[in-house]
A and B are shown apart, each in its own frame.
Chain A
């Protein structure tokens, strides 16, 4: 099983990482390399899109957590969207969804981002 990775720009200097296939011990290093090259302090929001991911192991989870740490350290946002049931189950097993921004779909995530932007505008 292989992993396809697409990193695309999002609004306000964000990046979406769409992963397809299997994120496991065989493919996790590949994702880590791509993320190391593209996700840094200049990125305001990182979105991991799980829509087409059908398998996730602990090796893949470590890449996700490491990326969250990078975003947390630079006060960026880290969002997870479109988790399929079998993927969500893995997060739930290790009780890792607490403290994560998880959205069932694009619409729910857009609502969140709009609310966050309005909050920033109100503060200005």
Chain B
């Protein structure tokens, strides 16, 4: 399904943890303007936090500033978030490791496990030297009026 362009909004941030607050504000404005319910917002906030942290921790091996693009899009029943960075090839679906419940939950895998649990599909592609990570979450719009 092709989404209406009006629903698509993009924010470009730097690969620094403090820019996570900009992403949070971006998400709040988006959910408020698209009738996305509170419980879905809570889940998306956590998904964005985990995915952005993964990029910061894994995509760049230098200490330089790089851009990360986050795009939000939605249809009547699904929200799609796409993260694009220019870092080294990094597939979070395979490179984060599996959650090891016996290992004190100390390292790796936990963030990705949260993302997988809170979204309905996840895709990774390496396109023109960019990591493109896309997650989709199904939802029901709040205050829907009968058609």
Contact = CB atoms under 8 A, between A and B. Distances in A.
Contacts of A59: 53
Contacts of A123: none
A84 to B, nearest CB: 10
Interface stretch (B2-10, B18-26, B65-73, B127-135): B18-26
**B42, B46, B117: most-surrounded residue (chain A CB, <10 A):** B46
B13 interface: no
Contact of A61 (B18, B53, B105): B105
**A1, A24, A55, A62: most-surrounded residue (chain B CB, <10 A):** A24
A25 B104 contact: no
Contact of B20 (A24, A61, A93, A96): A24
Given A57-B53, A65-B105, A94-B99, A26 B114 contact: no
B23 to A, nearest CB: 11
A86 interface: yes
A24 B111 CA distance: 11
Interface string B81-114: 0000000000000000001010011110011011
A96 B42 CA distance: 19
A61 B49 contact: no
B104 A65 contact: yes
B18 A26 contact: yes
Contact of B117 (A55, A93, A96): A93
Given A93-B114, A94-B110, A94-B113, A55 B45 contact: yes
Given A65-B104, A95-B101, A58 B50 contact: yes
Interface string B20-59: 1100100000000000000000100110011001001000
Contact of B106 (A26, A57, A66): A66
A90 interface: yes
B114 A58 contact: yes
B42 A86 contact: yes
Interface in A61-112: 61-62, 65-66, 69, 86, 90, 93-96
A55 B42 CA distance: 8
Interface of B: 17-18, 20-21, 24, 42, 45-46, 49-50, 53, 56, 99, 101, 104-107, 110-111, 113-114, 117-118
Given A26-B18, A62-B110, 14 more contacts: A1-B21, A24-B49, A25-B56, A55-B45, A57-B114, A58-B50, A58-B53, A61-B110, A65-B106, A66-B104, A93-B113, A94-B113, A94-B114, A96-B105
Nearest 4 A/B pairs, CB to CB: A58-B110, A58-B111, A93-B117, A25-B53
